[in-house]
Structure 1
Amino acid sequence: MLAKLAFGNMRKLLHDYAVYFLTLVLGVAVFYAFNTVAVQGDFLRGDVSETLKQVGQVLDGVTTFLAVVLGFLMVYANNFLMRRRKKELGLYQVLGMRTGQVNVVLALETLLVAAISFGVGIALGALLSQLLLFVTARMFEATVQHFSFFFSMDAFSLTLGCFGVIFVVMMAFNWLTLRRVRLIDLMSSARQNEKRLVRRLPLSVALTVAGFGLMGVAYWRLTRDGFPMGGPAMGDFVVTTVMVVVGTFVFFYGLAGALTAFLTHLRGFYWRDLHMFTTRQIASRVNTTALSMGVIALILFLAMTATTTGMSICGALNAAARQGTPYSASISVTPSFSLDSGESRIDLEAEVAKAGVDLSKVGKHAALRVAVIESELEGETSTFRHISQLTGETIPKGYEYVLVGQVVGVSDYNAVRALLGLEPVSLGEGQYLMLCNMDDLAPFVNEGLERGLPVTMGEAELVPARPTVINDTSAILQDSGVGVNPGTFVVADSVAAGLPTYQSVINVMYAGTTKEGDAALEGLEGRLVSNIGDRSDFTSVATVTSVRAGGVSTNGLISYMAIYIGFVLVIACAAILAIQQLSNASDAAGSYRTLSELGCSERLIFSSLRAQVAIAFVLPLAVGLAHSLCANRAVGEVVRVFGYGGAIGDMTLGLALFALVYGGYLALTYRMAHGIVRSAVRTARRAL
């Protein structure tokens, strides 16, 4: 009997709150599909398989975090539904059921919902994971081979564990709710007024203004200071974060009263059609759900920021990988400074030959010795600070602590230019050239060069040979995933020779195919490390293939995390809003029926309903979007520091995905609420 009752209740709940069930299904499907990444590597060629295993390990931790967040929101949604069912649960006890039996019914309902949603979700996730395999292949620039249907027991177990805990917590909360509430409270719950958080109108307005002010000051602080790179700035960032969080909750706590006060003064609007009814309905819901709206706004902010910034950072990394690899390969050694004197300098060409690689057979190559101005690296001088003092211009944001201490001789630099097919440069007595390929920084440096910025290297006093920086391909002195150069001096060979070596580099252009060149250099890094020993702090062999493969792996990981985090958080927040609005529509069915009996047209009734649902979704979205736009601007500043200001535009895909999910929930919620209200209205019409 209890099982039959639970099954009937479950069918009714799935009909009235299909959004809740849909969210559980989508949650299970997404959790399972994204955690099959490690298995997907078995179907991809190349070194992608090992990379995907590492990605899978990272996603395991992300899944745990998302399970906690999703669990919190789902438990909240479950408790929200429980509050709406208090009268029903009280009626069971009036009819003779014991509290324990009611608990059994609730437990059976939860288990049935869990079993159905988990089963459907796993089936959907299994299909989604097959599609995700081809998306993964595209992300990691790999090829799918011998494809066959696959199922991951590891992903299944992880998903089962996460959602099993969520459903157990739901049952525990249901049991506590029923145990703590008296029967009279259950039966009278429908007649109880919802508790208003803020009753006084002046206080509501003051809270709204205070919240708005706190958020505005936090935006200003973040725009002014940007994201911290460590140090004392981290404390200021924490203060900014606290201000925006507190401001968000204070804003929502006072918004209902402030909204009512504002609209009532617009008499031409307030007294027209059902605007008064709509305003009061919205104000009531905002007042009683201020806490949840604040939480949802902050989670939406996290979801949007994770998705959009993840995509923009991927764009920046792609641009860096393309720009940072002008050579087929770069071999570099950073010698220990304590050994860098006289004959202790490392002859990299000789070491490569000793390691068994004949560079003349691999292709054309150019050796490059990068020297260093020790005082610059030790912070005793700063080229950018000197430029600022000379010109009166402020150092561009993000570059205040960048040190420009690298130096190359003109002969080595011309050899690199020849390798790239560029014309050589020349220097006069006591002159230098500056390399810089960062768009935000170059105008600032050019201003200093035009003013004849003097530079001291050892005993030499040098002045610019030209009033502008060199920003062509030769500004990249070796292959790397960064691809930017904030500033390097090109000086006479005699001046460079008097400075200590920072790095020895050999750039190579393959004579044959990339595959043949990479094969010739395979294992070279390990042999160099073994031969050079403790004379080097760092040894590297970077090929275009390895640099871009590393970039693809990083981009794939960031993209996965951005989409995964954003999607899960958005569906969770949208589900909470949807359940609230469906519950509100059900509670207000009598009010809509009364409006219909008084002669109000269905057009006005549904227009009011549409406005209520739309504003409930838009309010937290607007606050979260404002937070996200400010954060994205700060992220854009960080990205621009690395020389890729235009990459922030790559967030468009993330925003489109976000809009699709959130807008879909909004449309579905309105259609379901429309059905509830239409049923109430037409019942009234038939009664008349």
Structure 2
Amino acid sequence: MLFKLSISNIRRSLRDYAIYFFTLMIGVSVFYVFNAISGQAAMMKLDESSYEIIDLLSTVLSGISIFVAGVLGLLIVYASRFLMKRRKREFALYMTLGMGKGSISRLLLIETGIIGLGSLAAGLLVGIGLSQLMSALVANLFEADMTAYKFTVSVKAITKTILYFGVMYFVVMIFNSIVVTKMKLIDLMQSGKRSEQIKLKNPIVCVVIFIISAIALGAAYYTVTAGYQDLSRAKFIGSIITGAVSTFFIFWSVSGMLLRTVMSMKGMYFRSLNSFTFRQISSKVNTMVMSMTMICLMLFVTICMLAAAFCIRNSLNKNIKELCPADYELQFYLNDHYPEHDVMKIVEEEGIDITEDFSEYVHFYTYMDESLTFEKILGEDAEEIKKSNSMIMFDHPEYIVKVSDYNDLMRLYGRDELELEKDSFIVTCNFKSTKEVRDRTLDKGDEINVFGRTLRSQYDDTVDGFISIGSTKTNEGIIVVPDDVITESSPLEMEYFIGNYLSDDKDTAEKTVNNKINELMKNQNFGACMFTSRQEVNRNSAGLGAIATFVGLYVGLVFLIASGAILALKELSESADSVGRYEMLRKIGADEKDLNRSLFRQTGIFFLIPLILAVLHSVFGMNFAVKTLEVFGAEDMGLSITVTSLILALIYGGYFLITFFSSKSIIKERK
């Protein structure tokens, strides 16, 4: 009997369950997709290092899944509250007809179970389909061979998804049972007759708080953007707290000012159904100040995480081609235990020939003049620049290289060589913030002293360039000087060996050279030695890009789903409570077209309010992100922001449309 009644209720209330089912289905599919990544990767031809990175990625995503499960669990409970509120009159009828609270609890248990199983099954089917697309993203990140790939289903991910969501549904069932036991018949019968009184806040207090909050928010924006160079950990945390608190009070003050402001505009307020529309909006915002704050902050985090994740991935892919133009690099940090300062000579003495594995190579040194520091380069501007650039190492000696060595390396890299005039120097740099500081100094034409020689800058700004291969723009400055400035007594700083493999089998060549270097280091007391290859740079970049992309997508999508669902459920709940008001408007002659227009405006403004402030936060947040991620060359975020906007429009906009049409259906039920 209860089962048949449950099926009947579900069929009759499909529109009420639409948002609930849609949210659960998306949640399940997202949960499955990100927990099935390791299973998808297992079907590809990856090297050992890539498998290690994917294992690390899977571990990170598993940890985040616990947080995601908590967010989705709270969302399911919130959704259940809406459904319970929506059906109060129905429960009153059951109790009037003699049904006990225990039977109502069992009825809800069956309904929740059916909806849960349905959404779980649908979500898993969607997730399995989407995971096949995710495998293409994994393959693209790791440059994997997908010839062995085939359609696969991750049993482990299915098990984890069922387990996590089973626990969530169990909590929801307990919650529903508790709510049913506390229900009173008189409250249920009068639930639709109570009219909420809108308490107008003092407009002067609201204006004052709004101004103070806006000023505080502006100060936080300034600290993380214009004041970035002087940003400390304490200031950063303070800015986050200030931004969150200011957001709350902006919503609090706007909820009090909105209706007052519109009421003062008599021509607009009394036009059509505007008075009804804005009173409805004011009522919703008044009761959701804290929720609006949380939604706004979640949308802000979503926008920034998605944009930053895509930006890191795109920048790393671009940088590999530009910043890693050679196959292999050896660096020796020279010290007193390595007096010969000639790795080629040591190699020859040991009988280990590393050059035979390279078709072309460059062997050179960089030098260091202890008296020539970055601070000395800056001259009279040093003190002013130090105040606003606390993170730069001003007392570190500058790196110096001979122009002939630099040009030999540029020929190997396939980049433009430098033509250096007599008694001149050129500074190469590709780290944006440091480049701006150096350009400011070079523009003044100050002279420098290098190993006793006075040199002037050949250009008014730095030249884009680098020495070491890598995937990030980290060259803060290398001074290129004429060869005759360097003498045999000039202090050495580092020794470099950079070349391209002779063999086309890059992996085998890398292992061969690494083995020789490791054997060489066992027999010689070198200073610190570092060696890297294009393959290693690619693997590390793929790993960082994968972690940034998947974590950003995972958390961003869940926050976006939560934000849209909470707003949708609140709007549907308000529509259910306002059915009588719409019925009264019809009785006094309101046109159905005007009612639908009013509902559309209510829903649109309700969804736009937190989004507008979140976008404003994101403008400054992304400005901060660009400065933080400049090492990746993240100046151009246009593509990342475009992709993020499309995802936002698809999911958030989807919730808006579903909410509007579901609300439209609800207010028509007593027509």
Instruction: Give me the TM-score of the superposition, normalised by structure 2.
Output: 0.90
SS at match of 1:97: coil
Corresponding residue of 2:122: 120
Return the match for 1:453 from 446, 454, 457: 446
Alpha-carbon offset, residue 544 of structure 1: 2.6
- Give a deviation string over 1:353-397, Cα, whole Å, max 9, x none: 948444155211111222345577xxx86256436349x778986
Corresponding residue of 1:624: 614
Aligned pair 1:564/2:554, yes or no? yes
Corresponding residue of 1:263: 262
Contact residue 349 and residue 367 of structure 1 kept, 8 A: no
Alpha-carbon offset, residue 22 of structure 1: 0.8
Aligned pair 1:74/2:76, yes or no? yes
Contact residue 32 and residue 155 of structure 1 kept, 8 A: yes
Corresponding residue of 2:177: 175
SS at match of 1:224: coil
> Counterparts in 2 of 1:241-260, with a 5 A limit?
241-260=240-259
Distance 1:338 1:278, change over 3 A: farther
Contact residue 387 and residue 445 of structure 1 kept, 8 A: no
Alpha-carbon offset, residue 592 of structure 1: 1.4
Give, in whole Å, the separation in 2 of the partners of 1:228 and 1:576. Answer: 38
Corresponding residue of 2:409: 416
Alpha-carbon offset, residue 283 of structure 1: 0.6
Alpha-carbon offset, residue 615 of structure 1: 0.7
Give, in whole Å, the separation in 1 of the partners of 2:627 and 2:501. Answer: 37
SS at match of 1:306: helix
**2:75 aligned partner, one-letter code:** L
Contact residue 36 and residue 152 of structure 1 kept, 8 A: yes
SS at match of 1:406: strand
Aligned pair 1:19/2:19, yes or no? yes
Alpha-carbon offset, residue 228 of structure 1: 8.3
Return the match for 2:361 from 347, 350, 365: 365
**2:259 aligned partner, one-letter code:** T
SS at match of 1:471: coil
Corresponding residue of 2:41: 41
SS at match of 1:509: strand
- Give a deviation string over 1:649-688, Cα, whole Å, max 9, x none: 53321221221211122122212222223443xx3xxxxx
Return the match for 2:652 from 638, 658, 662: 662
Q: What runs of 5+ residues in structure 1 fail to find an aligned partner? A: 684-688
Give, in whole Å, the separation in 2 of the partners of 1:175 and 1:415. Answer: 78
Return the match for 1:64 from 63, 66, 71: 66
**1:173 aligned partner, one-letter code:** F
Give, in whole Å, the separation in 2 of the partners of 1:5 and 1:346. Answer: 87
Corresponding residue of 1:595: 585
SS at match of 1:645: coil
Alpha-carbon offset, residue 120 of structure 1: 1.5
Corresponding residue of 1:273: 272
> Counterparts in 2 of 1:441-480, with a 5 A limit?
441-442=434-435, 444-456=437-449, 460=452, 462-468=454-460, 471-472=463-464, 475-480=465-470
Distance 1:519 1:354, change over 3 A: farther
> Counterparts in 2 of 1:63-102, with a 5 A limit?
63-102=65-104
Q: Please say which of residues 7-16 and 120-129 is displaced more in the overlay.
A: 7-16
Aligned pair 1:553/2:553, yes or no? no
Give, in whole Å, the separation in 2 of the partners of 1:287 and 1:521. Answer: 65
Alpha-carbon offset, residue 641 of structure 1: 5.6
Corresponding residue of 1:686: none
Give, in whole Å, the separation in 2 of the partners of 1:487 and 1:125. Answer: 48
Give, in whole Å, the separation in 1 of the partners of 2:123 and 2:556. Answer: 19
Q: What runs of 5+ residues in structure 2 fail to find an aligned partner? A: none
Alpha-carbon offset, residue 271 of structure 1: 0.9
Return the match for 1:388 from 350, 359, 381: 381
- Give a deviation string over 1:615-669, Cα, whole Å, max 9, x none: 1111111121111121011111223365542246533212212212111221222
Give, in whole Å, the separation in 2 of the partners of 1:106 and 1:260. Answer: 39
Corresponding residue of 1:3: 3
Give, in whole Å, the separation in 2 of the partners of 1:563 and 1:353. Answer: 54
Return the match for 2:520 from 525, 531, 536: 531
Give, in whole Å, the separation in 2 of the partners of 1:303 and 1:352. Answer: 57
Return the match for 1:544 from 517, 534, 538: 534
Instruction: Give me the TM-score of the superposition, normalised by structure 1.
Output: 0.88
Give, in whole Å, the separation in 1 of the partners of 2:549 and 2:629. Answer: 16
Give, in whole Å, the separation in 1 of the partners of 2:85 and 2:378. Answer: 64
SS at match of 1:172: helix
Give, in whole Å, the separation in 2 of the partners of 1:346 and 1:6. Answer: 83
Give, in whole Å, the separation in 1 of the partners of 2:225 and 2:542. Answer: 31
Corresponding residue of 1:108: 110
Contact residue 378 and residue 441 of structure 2 kept, 8 A: no
Q: Please say which of residues 481-490 and 211-220 is displaced more in the overlay.
A: 211-220
Alpha-carbon offset, residue 299 of structure 1: 0.9
Alpha-carbon offset, residue 134 of structure 1: 2.3
Give, in whole Å, the separation in 2 of the partners of 1:399 and 1:647. Answer: 24
Distance 1:291 1:568, change over 3 A: same
Contact residue 28 and residue 122 of structure 1 kept, 8 A: yes
Distance 1:415 1:180, change over 3 A: same
Alpha-carbon offset, residue 398 of structure 1: 7.9
Provide the aligned C-alpha RMSD in A. Answer: 3.1
Contact residue 29 and residue 124 of structure 1 kept, 8 A: yes
Distance 1:374 1:81, change over 3 A: farther
**1:244 aligned partner, one-letter code:** G
Return the match for 1:437 from 421, 426, 430: 430
> Counterparts in 2 of 1:132-531, with a 5 A limit?
132-194=134-196, 199-226=201-228, 233-335=232-334, 337=335, 339=337, 342-343=339-340, 345=341, 347=343, 350-351=346-347, 354=350, 356-360=352-356, 362-373=358-369, 382-383=375-376, 385-386=378-379, 388-389=381-382, 400-401=392-393, 403=396, 405-420=398-413, 423=417, 425-426=419-420, 428=422, 432-438=425-431, 441-442=434-435, 444-456=437-449, 460=452, 462-468=454-460, 471-472=463-464, 475-491=465-481, 492=483, 495=486, 498=489, 500-511=491-502, 513=504, 515=505, 517-531=506-520
**2:191 aligned partner, one-letter code:** S
Give, in whole Å, the separation in 2 of the partners of 1:334 and 1:65. Answer: 44
Distance 1:537 1:464, change over 3 A: same
- Give a deviation string over 1:224-276, Cα, whole Å, max 9, x none: 333987xxx11111111111111122222232220011111111111111111
Give, in whole Å, the separation in 2 of the partners of 1:199 and 1:405. Answer: 62
Distance 1:308 1:455, change over 3 A: same
Alpha-carbon offset, residue 550 of structure 1: 2.6
Distance 1:404 1:671, change over 3 A: farther
